[in-house]
């Protein structure tokens, strides 16, 4: 009996390995096709995975929402650390004020206006509208870094977009966690949400700085016997920084992003190896996250409940009304050309993070959660496919040079 059980376990594990490897291999192929069609990879992966889960019922049950959250979280740790290190302290200092303003004030302002739009236009309760607002408020680092990868955007607009997408994710996640608690607990209040947010940001920032100082100091010394160990050690350090912040009830995502920025310009022997490894791992994380998220989307529910038009309405309002109203005033005092301002407004792309945040509402058991998840998916799909595809065109029309460069090693 023991031998039969062992064989069955090995068979099941083999199926899992085959599924994961096959899914990611298909994702790489989809990425190649998307690149040829000039469509952001995220949009193609989301549609392909969602369609596959509808065509093959078993795929929709392969991953639970909790599994998807873990996959997306691991991917974001790598993506945020890599994105932060690409920005580095020098570029961050040049655009720190607009990055922080858009990351904090912009996230709260966007969430509030989306909530008003959802309540008025879609006739949803204030609680559900607030959840949708919190889910859709942050832009997405995976999509933003992917769209801008290999591109050099003149001026500070590219840095602002990358910094905003990394900085507003921790803000959006803390806000969403608070909103879920507000929606599911009788004694919840908005003051509790604000208090929890302040604690998470403060602890996350402190641990991110401390982790970066420690990592930077260690990196300058050849403490490892083999150069090939450095990429693994650095990414494990990023995981430790995230875990420490999370255990301390802080924002692990903020800690990782801040640490990435602070160590971005540190020179050490294996720097090129670390950057190449992190870039490849970031690409893998992006593929895994969007495939996993796409498998949880129920296209049949979206069609049957009329969520397509609701999501498209919010997507249009968000892209053409809400983001300009929020971002415009926050950039008013920043020295940018009108073309750069318009480019930043247009390029606030949604992606894995809003879908991840919407899954928190599903796991939390809030009202209208499956429909909320579908609406967020439609908004993200519009943002990635329409806005993301047109980013180079918009940059050209607004006079913002966007040149292709070799990937930095």
User: DSSP labels for 4-49?
Assistant: HHHHHHHHHHHHHHHHHHHHHHHHHHHHHHHHHTT--HHHHHHHHH
Residue 140's contacts (CB-CB under 8 Å, 6 or more residues apart) are 42, 165, 169, 349, 350, 351, 352, 353, 354, 380
Range with lowest mean pLDDT among 106-110, 297-301, 321-325: 297-301
Q: What's the chain's length in residues?
A: 409
Least confident of 6-20, 238-252, 374-388: 6-20
Average pLDDT over residues 270-295: 81
Distance CA 179, CA 366 (A): 10
How does 132-168 read in b/e, with b if 16+ C-beta sit within 10 Å?
A: bbbbbbbbbbbbbbbbbbeeebebbbbbbbbbbbbbb
What pLDDT band is residue 348 in, cutting at 50, 70 and 90?
confident
Give the residue carrying structure tokens 């249009």.
316
* Range 234-260 average pLDDT: 91
Lowest mean pLDDT among 31-35, 72-76, 195-199, 331-335: 31-35
End-to-end CA distance of the chain: 54
Evaluate if residue 406 carries a pLDDT over 60: no
Would the pLDDT of 408 be above 50? no
CA atoms within a 13 Å half-sphere pointing along the CA-CB vector of 366: 31
**272 falls in which pLDDT band (50, 70, 90)?**
confident
Res. 188: pLDDT tops 70: no
Q: Who's near 280: CB < 8 A, 6+ residues apart?
A: none
Closest CA to 132 of 398, 377, 406: 377
Look at residue 148 in the predicted model and tell me its pLDDT: 66
| Model pLDDT, residue 139 | 87
* pLDDT cut 90: percent of the chain above it: 22
Give the closest residue to 168 by CA, choosing from 344, 291, 45, 5. 344
Asked whether 158 and 409 are in contact (CB, 8 A), the reply is no
- Give the model's pLDDT for residue 2: 62
Residue 144's nearest CA partner among 380, 339, 328, 365 is 380
Residue 393 CA neighbour count, 13 Å, CB half: 7
Comparison of pLDDT for 125 and 174, the residue scoring more: 125
Q: List, in order of start, the domains of the chain with CATH numbers.
A: 2-404 (1.20.1530.20)
Alpha carbon distance 183, 175 (integer Å): 12
Q: Sorting pLDDT into bands at 50, 70 and 90, what band is 241? A: very high
Residues of the chain above pLDDT 70, percent: 84
Burial of 225 (0-12, 13-18, 19+ CB in 10 A): exposed
Average pLDDT over residues 63-89: 85
Distance separating alpha carbons of residues 351 and 251, to the nearest angstrom: 20
Residue with the bigger pLDDT between 20 and 277: it is 277
Give the model confidence (pLDDT) of 139-148 as tens digits: 877 777 666 6
Burial of 363 (0-12, 13-18, 19+ CB in 10 A): middle
Strand segments, DSSP code E, in 76-150 are none
Beta-strand ranges (E) seen in 32-143 are none
Task: Name the more confident of 89 and 38.
Answer: 89
pLDDT-derived band at 114, boundaries 50, 70, 90: very high
The pLDDT-based confidence of 362 (bands split at 50, 70, 90) is confident
Q: Which candidate, 276, 260, 285, places its Cα nearest to that of 228?
A: 276
Q: What is the DSSP letter of 225?
A: S
SS3 139: coil
Q: How far apart are CA 117 and CA 317, in angstroms?
A: 8
Q: What is the mean pLDDT of residues 131-155?
A: 76
Mean per-residue pLDDT over the chain, rounded: 82
- For residues 306 and 61, the model is more confident at 306
């Amino acid at each position: 009996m023991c031998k039969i059980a062992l064989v069955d376990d090995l068979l099941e594990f083999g199926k899992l390995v085959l599924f994961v490897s096959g899914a990611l291999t298909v994702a790489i192929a989809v990425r190649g096709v998307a690149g040829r069609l000039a469509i952001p990879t995220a949009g193609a992966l989301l549609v392909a995975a969602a369609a596959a889960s509808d065509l093959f019922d078993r795929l929709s049950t392969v991953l639970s929402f909790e599994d998807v959250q873990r996959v997306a979280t691991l991917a974001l740790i790598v993506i945020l650390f890599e994105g932060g290190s690409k920005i580095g302290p020098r570029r961050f200092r040049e655009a720190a004020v607009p990055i922080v303003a858009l990351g904090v004030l912009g996230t709260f302002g966007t969430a509030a206006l989306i909530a008003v739009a959802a309540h008025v236009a879609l006739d949803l309760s204030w609680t559900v509208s607030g959840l949708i607002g919190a889910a859709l408020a942050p832009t997405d680092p995976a999509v933003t870094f992917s769209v801008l990868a290999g591109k050099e955007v003149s001026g500070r607009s590219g840095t602002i977009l990358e910094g905003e997408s990394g900085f507003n994710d921790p803000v959006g996640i803390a806000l969403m966690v608070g909103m879920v608690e507000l929606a599911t607990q009788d004694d919840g209040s908005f003051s509790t949400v604000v208090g929890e947010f302040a604690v998470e940001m403060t602890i996350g920032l402190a641990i991110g700085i401390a982790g970066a100082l420690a990592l930077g100091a260690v990196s300058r010394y050849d403490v490892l016997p083999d150069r090939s160990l450095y990429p693994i050690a650095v990414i494990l350090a990023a995981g430790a920084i995230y875990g420490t912040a999370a255990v301390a009830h802080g924002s692990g995502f903020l800690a990782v992003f801040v640490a990435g920025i602070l160590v971005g310009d540190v020179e050490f022997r294996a720097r090129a190896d670390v950057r190449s490894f992190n870039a490849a791992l970031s690409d893998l994380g992006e593929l895994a996250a969007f495939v996993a998220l796409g498998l949880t989307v129920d296209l049949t529910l979206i069609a049957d409940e009329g969520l397509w038009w609701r999501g498209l309405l919010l997507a249009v309002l968000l892209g053409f009304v809400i983001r300009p109203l929020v971002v415009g005033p926050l950039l008013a005092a920043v020295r940018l050309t009108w073309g750069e301002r318009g480019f930043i407004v247009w390029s606030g792309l949604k992606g894995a993070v809003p879908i991840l945040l919407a899954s928190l509402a599903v796991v939390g058991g809030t009202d209208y959660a499956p429909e909320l998840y579908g609406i967020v998916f439609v908004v993200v799909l519009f943002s990635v496919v329409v806005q993301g595809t047109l980013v180079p065109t918009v940059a050209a029309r607004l006079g913002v040079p966007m040149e292709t460069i070799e990937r930095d090693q």
